[in-house]
Structure 1
Amino acid sequence: MAQLCDPRRCPVLLALLASLLLFGAEAADGEPDVHDFCQAPKVVGRCRASIPRWWYNATSRSCQRFVYGGCGKNENNHLTEKDCLEKCAGVTENTIDGLTTKRSGADSSIASVPKRQAFDDPSSDIFNYEEHCTAKAVTGPCRASFPRWYFDAEKKTCDNFIYGGCWGNKNNYISKEEPGAHPPHCLELWGR
């Protein structure tokens, strides 16, 4: 019967195995930064479902919609834009432990609390009235069946429709009262 370990090599292999086990235990003790997942790329996954989700883009510092396939996700996969912003707003590619470092002046180690940017705030220059308020409901070519709400500019009301899960527009809300949704703002801004 063959020996598993040559007497000259066994101590070396055992020492190597012990160091690997010790290093693995130390690595498991270190807690990951709470914002690490905010810097992860979006992962659509290999499955073919069509589930609307949100991911945080650390480069643009914004939460963006994407269509999730239903399996193989990472932690940068949020049910709502609000959830995405609550967990990741202000995180940049240079964020360290939830703080960003300013690169102005001689001292580049001064930390500042990240600012939250509201990209869909109607008072913001980025809010587009036509995209959020006057666009027609778009079911899209995908075959999912998600109940959604949109602002009907002709009737000046929020109405429901079925969203297929992809290729929609910004006039597409999970609920009539979705926090941060713009149908209420559409009514306020109708006089524009």
Structure 2
Amino acid sequence: MCLSWWTFASLCFLKLVLGSSVISAGRHGASNASICLLPPVEGPCQGLLPRFYYDRFTQTCQEFSYGGCDGNENNFMYQEDCEKTCWKIKKVPKICRMEAAVGPCRGLFKKYAFNLSIMRCELFYYGGCYGNDNRFGDEASCTEHCAPKRNKYTRLTSVIIDAPSFCYSPKDEGSCTASVTRYYFNIETKACEEFIYTGCGGNSNNFVKIEDCNSVCKQEFFMSQSLQIKTMKNDSLLNPFNVQETTALYSFGNQTQGTPNSTEFTDTPA
């Protein structure tokens, strides 16, 4: 028996929506931040499903239209899911996010550019004119300017973080030309810091007053002064770094959460 056009279209739409939901639900079960570096892929189907992807060039989560099938894992149903998965991606300066540009001239000048896809500097040959600022005379200076610095701060495991998702968003100056003083929560330093907002665009990690930033974002990361630290003496062969076992109390709003047996790592060799 032949299906009517309306029945056929309805079945296709149902498959598109349900299939897409199943894919999305299972897609982000693991918190693998490397998916955030993938380019957005709409897929071959004809749906117009609003989704979010992490834009490695703007270092923010952006909306795009998903066709409903195939694509890749940099595809989130909600902006909050995108931000929670991708906020750990190391941030790099704006010029380092540009693609290496040879320029229109025909010289062969040995230069280095930061490749955001692999997060390291690569050799390329510059033509000698135009191009962009992602161009360095040697690999060392490129790495010094662009490569994410090794984190020498305390790393604590099993910490419960309950701040609003936009607190994970990177500083975003916006796309206009004004110079307005604003404040944002810096996830690396866990502090509210001043920046210059250009007046439009940007993201929600943008506060008029530092007090508002502190009350919304910083308090969720506040660590009380009640720390019990004991040094573990480890075999240098098994543990090439100094390791300290730390028990800390963390305050989230009116609640206090403990993190017993969390571990502090430093970069100082034993």
Give the structure-1-normalised TM-score: 0.38
Whichever structure has more strand as a proportion of its residues is 2
- Higher RCO structure, 1 or 2 (CA under 8 Å, sep 6+): 1
Give the structure-2-normalised TM-score: 0.28
Larger radius of gyration, structure 1 or 2?
A: 1
